[in-house]
Amino acid sequence: MLIEINNLTPEYPKIKQAVEILNNCGVIVYPTDTIYGFGADIFCADAVERIYKIKQKKASGFSFICPDLTEISKYAIVSDYAYRIMKRLLPGPYTFIFKATKLVPKKLIPNKNTVAIRIPDNAVCLELVKQLGHPLVSTSVNVSQEPHFSDPLEIEKTFGDKVDLIIDAGILKNEPSSVIDLSGDAPVIIRRGKGDVTLFE
């Protein structure tokens, strides 16, 4: 099922429809400020497992979306330095890696003690996590190691029978987030993407 949504002022009934699917352990496709993502409730192991299968990916971990900085502190060990950095850059096109707290489901971080977290500058996904009440899985819409999909109609053709809902916010630019590891004593740039990383060089 595909529904069109206003990417700047998302319609509440459409957000509610998506959240009901997430609450029932469904898998959705949704827009971010970078690329489209597969989404699921982070506490629904079956839905997370479905996303691994859809992406044809081994259980190596997914990042997730939080609505604000307060929520991040439940799932990540954040230093004062990291908090100040995030306050400057978020919401925005960054993924930050931290040491994980015990609240992070093991399905999301198998064989790891770190977690990757995003607060995108996108009204749709932020409203989704606010209404859901806890974080949303964030991983690019593609098969592992293959190009990302940016056109909702192409996503529907390829993954429409594998997901429960596709939220169409138009064609997005195919720019992934910048990934910064803040789990150690100094920041490490893991991937240069849409977000400016000069602050960490």
pLDDT at 184: 87
Which sequence spans correspond to the domains of the chain? 2-200
In CATH, which of 3.40.50.300, 3.90.870.10, 3.30.70.920, 3.30.9.10 is domain 2-200? 3.90.870.10
**The pair of three-digit structure tokens given for residue 174, joined into one six-digit string:** 């195919």
Q: How far is CA 83 from CA 7, 90, 130, 195, in A?
A: 28, 10, 21, 17
Alpha-helical regions (H) of the chain: 12-23, 45-55, 69-75, 80-89, 123-132, 152-159
Tens digit of each residue's pLDDT (9 = 90 or more) over 124-152: 999 999 999 989 998 999 887 788 889 99
pLDDT at 31: 96
Per DSSP bridges, beta strands 94-100 and 178-181 are parallel
What letter represents residue 79's amino acid? S
Tens digit of each residue's pLDDT (9 = 90 or more) over 71-108: 898 999 999 999 999 999 999 999 999 999 998 888 88
Which pTM does this prediction carry?
0.92
Backbone angles phi, psi at 133, to 5 degrees: 95, -5
For 41, which DSSP code? B
**The pair of three-digit structure tokens given for residue 114, joined into one six-digit string:** 């770190």
Report the interhelical angle of 12-23 vs 123-132 (nearest 10°): 50
Q: Which residue bears the tokens 């898998």?
A: 27
Count CB atoms within 10 A of the CB of residue 28: 23
What letter represents residue 140's amino acid? S
Count CB atoms within 10 A of the CB of residue 171: 13
Please give the Cα distance from 6 to 82 (Å, whole number): 33
